[in-house]
Homo-oligomer: A and B are copies of this chain.
């Protein structure tokens, strides 16, 4: 397809007009993003299911699927941010799209710089901490995010900074799978998305401190080829 920069964020453009697709694609790739394309809505939805991108840029005027349907069908199971592009400037349509689950709405013709800025906003990840509830409990494990306290079977466990960051991330995701990339970006910062071995070592340490057996883990579950998730 294109120069696939490994470690880069993946964006999916769902757009039938070849011209706009190319234009947006080139701009995004210049910023170092990996870009996939879909000409049709069904194709876009399938791609999201098979290999979820980090952001979807959606044209509302697709030939096969109604734009609002697309948003609703994706939102039925996924929280991937959606940025809508549209020629129609009607306020009603904007409101409908946003309420259906779109995260932003840009009207054509648009400035490419603004589009890029809005993409950056949607990929920014400061939102997670806001949603984090203070206390997590599951059989045997108890994590107090506010106090930075961890207990396993009633006994306190002291974790290092990174170990706690990883556990906090898993806790905040409520059992959702986190990909290696996601974890690396959030715990080590962007630029370390390929250092998967860091993660392995850290998970090893954390499991050891939690007394978790990797073959039959109680807490941190391995999802082969994808990442890790917390048992809830």
B contact residues around A49 at 8 Å (CB): 145, 165, 168-169, 171-172
Partner of A161, one of B98, B102, B224: B224
A50 cross-chain contacts in B, Cβ below 8 A: 165-166, 168-169, 172, 186-187
> Which of B46, B120, B125 lies in contact with A131, CB distance below 8 A?
B125
A91 near B114: Cβ-Cβ < 8 Å: yes
A135-B77 CB under 8 A given contacts A42-B173, A94-B114: yes
CB contact list, A176-225 vs B, under 8 A? 176-178, 182, 186-187, 189-190, 223-225
Q: Provide the residues of chain B in CB contact with A30, threshold 8 Å.
A: none
- B75, B132, B160: the one contacting A176 at CB < 8 Å is B132
Query: Can you report 23 residue pairs joining A to B where beta carbons are below 8 Å apart?
Result: A42-B173, A46-B178, A46-B186, A50-B165, A50-B169, A77-B135, A77-B144, A77-B145, A77-B146, A79-B128, A91-B114, A92-B113, A95-B116, A98-B114, A98-B117, A101-B131, A104-B121, A125-B131, A126-B131, A129-B176, A132-B176, A160-B224, A161-B225
A46-B173, A49-B172, A147-B177 are known contacts; what are 13 more A-B pairs with Cβ within 8 Å?
A: A42-B176, A50-B187, A76-B134, A77-B144, A98-B114, A98-B117, A99-B120, A101-B131, A125-B127, A126-B131, A146-B176, A147-B176, A160-B224
- Whose C-beta in chain B lies nearest to the C-beta of A74? B172
**Whole-angstrom distance from the CB of A138 to the nearest CB of chain B?**
15
The answer to whether A111 has its CB under 8 Å from any CB of chain B is: yes
Contact B79 A131 (CB under 8 A): yes
Residues of B contacting A174 with CB < 8 Å? 129
User: Does any Cβ of B come within 8 Å of A22's Cβ?
Assistant: no
A48 interface residue per 8 A CB criterion? yes
Docked complex Cα distance between A47 and B225 (Å)? 23
Give chain B residues whose Cβ lies under 8 Å from the Cβ of A171: 49
Closest beta carbon of chain B to A89's beta carbon, Å: 10
Most chain B CB inside 10 Å of its own CB: which residue of A49, A128, A130, A223: A49
- Whether A62 sits at the interface, judged by CB under 8 Å, is no
* List of B residues within 8 angstroms of A135 by Cβ: 77
Q: Are B79 and A165 closer than 8 Å at their CB atoms? A: no
